[in-house]
């Protein structure tokens, strides 16, 4: 790579930003880009202190970390020719220069991967950080089908070939970083983890992450899918109960209910959950092929469970739906509503 660019988004930073930029400028050959994400005028002196050492890009109003990163990525794309790599780092000094350079080395060795600077979370770690990472790590493994040991790290690296991919991601705030991981897994972009030092300054109080609000943004797609699945399950369960009470046949009731609930679920997921723009017939063919497989498994499990384990058919139905939920999510995200792979021109 001809150059490595270190992107540092900053909102209401203190003098630690000056120290971070100074150290990186003096100890590395990387190009530095700092994005002032709508900080107040009282922070003007901090940003003035880094001029001459870093390119300073500014938002008039606070737009969020994701928007700040994309502003820097767009600047690099428009102003840089030749091969390059991009590293994202935080403004508060939590990422050591030595660790940032280890990301740069890994990026040179693995330009086709998304490089992750992963903390170990051992020792005296703030509860909010430990709990948040454990939660998002579990959710990510469930949603993407692959594991990442530190989903919340802001220290990441990617080659210039992935710039368009990064710019095309949704999310303007902290959810952007989770979307980056989800879509990378979805597109088959492999991860490469680099162990880094775990540093929390003043119990991580400088973080602008709002646990409830930003977690809802991070988990948005999964929450939407869960709501869609719940609504579809209610339609399915209501129809199953009505038809079973009239016919007494678990198989007929399950088949009929599933046909109608599958159509309902398909339209919800295509339009509202995954925002899929693929041809309706093509995505419908994939969806209902999957639905047929799930229906067969669902019917078999329901019959076996109701006959040998849970005698109550209504309870057995609920258990089977819960068991198949994760499989349905994974297949719909990775197969049915999978985004088209990036072409060479798009990468």
Looking at the structure, do residues 313 and 235 belong to the same domain, yes or no?
A: yes
Looking at the structure, do residues 171 and 226 belong to the same domain, yes or no?
A: no
Domain that holds residue 253: 222-336
CATH number at residue 130: 3.90.550.10
Looking at the structure, do residues 158 and 240 belong to the same domain, yes or no?
A: no
Listed residues 155, 184, 208: the one ending a domain: 208
Q: What is the pLDDT of residue 224?
A: 77
When divided into structural domains, the chain yields a total of 2
Looking at the structure, do residues 288 and 182 belong to the same domain, yes or no?
A: no
Distance CA 47, CA 113 (A): 32
> 114-118 and 191-195: which strand pairing?
parallel
Give every CB contact of residue 157 below 8 A, 6+ residues apart in sequence. 85, 86, 87, 88, 103, 104, 106, 107, 114, 115, 117
Looking at the structure, do residues 204 and 231 belong to the same domain, yes or no?
A: no
Q: What is the pLDDT of residue 187?
A: 82
Q: Is residue 323 part of a domain?
A: yes
Q: What is the pLDDT of residue 144?
A: 66
Q: Is residue 347 part of a domain?
A: no
Looking at the structure, do residues 186 and 273 belong to the same domain, yes or no?
A: no
Listed residues 182, 208, 234: the one ending a domain: 208
Looking at the structure, do residues 131 and 201 belong to the same domain, yes or no?
A: yes
Distance CA 321, CA 271 (A): 23
Q: What is the pLDDT of residue 320?
A: 86
Per residue of the chain (347 residues), give pLDDT as tens.
789 999 999 999 999 999 999 999 999 999 999 999 999 999 999 999 999 999 999 999 999 999 999 999 999 999 998 899 999 999 988 899 999 999 999 999 999 999 999 987 655 655 555 666 667 777 777 666 677 888 888 999 999 999 999 999 988 887 888 889 888 887 889 999 999 987 655 544 545 445 555 455 556 666 777 788 888 889 988 999 999 999 988 888 888 988 898 888 888 888 777 666 777 888 888 888 888 888 888 889 888 888 888 878 888 888 888 888 777 877 777 778 765 544 333 33
Query: Which of 331, 245, 347, 227 shows the shortest CA–CA distance to 288?
Result: 331
Listed residues 145, 173, 208: the one ending a domain: 208
Q: What is the pLDDT of residue 208?
A: 46
Looking at the structure, do residues 92 and 11 belong to the same domain, yes or no?
A: yes
Distance CA 80, CA 74 (A): 10
Looking at the structure, do residues 56 and 175 belong to the same domain, yes or no?
A: yes
């Amino acid at each position: 790579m001809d150059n490595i660019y270190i992107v540092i988004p900053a909102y209401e930073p203190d003098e630690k930003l000056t120290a971070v930029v100074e150290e990186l400028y003096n100890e590395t050959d990387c190009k530095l880009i700092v994005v002032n994400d709508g900080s107040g005028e009282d922070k003007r002196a901090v940003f003035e202190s880094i001029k001459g050492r870093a390119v300073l890009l500014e938002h008039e109003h606070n737009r969020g970390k994701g928007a700040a990163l994309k502003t820097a990525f767009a600047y690099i794309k428009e102003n840089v020719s030749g091969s390059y790599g991009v590293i994202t780092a935080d403004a508060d000094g939590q990422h050591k220069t030595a660790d940032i350079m280890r990301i740069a080395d890994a990026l040179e060795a693995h330009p086709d991967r998304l490089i992750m600077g992963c903390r170990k979370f051992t020792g005296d770690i703030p509860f909010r950080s430990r709990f948040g990472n454990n939660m998002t790590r579990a959710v990510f493994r469930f949603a993407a089908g692959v594991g990442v040991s530190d989903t919340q790290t802001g220290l990441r690296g990617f080659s210039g070939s992935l710039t368009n991919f990064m710019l095309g991601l949704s999310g303007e705030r902290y959810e952007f970083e989770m979307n980056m991981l989800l879509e990378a897994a979805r597109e088959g972009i492999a991860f490469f983890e680099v162990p880094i030092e775990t540093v929390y300054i003043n119990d991580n109080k400088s973080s602008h992450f709002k646990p409830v609000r930003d977690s809802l943004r991070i988990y948005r797609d999964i929450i939407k899918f869960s709501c869609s699945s719940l609504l579809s399950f209610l339609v399915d369960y209501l129809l199953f109960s009505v038809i079973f009470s009239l016919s007494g046949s678990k198989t007929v009731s399950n088949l009929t209910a599933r046909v109608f609930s599958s159509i309902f679920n398909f339209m919800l997921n295509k339009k509202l959950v995954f925002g899929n723009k693929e041809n309706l017939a093509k995505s419908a063919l994939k969806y209902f092929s999957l639905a047929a497989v799930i229906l067969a498994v669902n019917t078999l499990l329901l019959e076996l469970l109701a006959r040998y384990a849970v005698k109550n058919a209504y309870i057995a139905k609920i258990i089977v739906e819960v068991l198949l939920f994760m499989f349905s999510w994974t297949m719909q995200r990775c197969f049915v509503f999978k985004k088209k792979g990036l072409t060479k021109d798009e990468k």
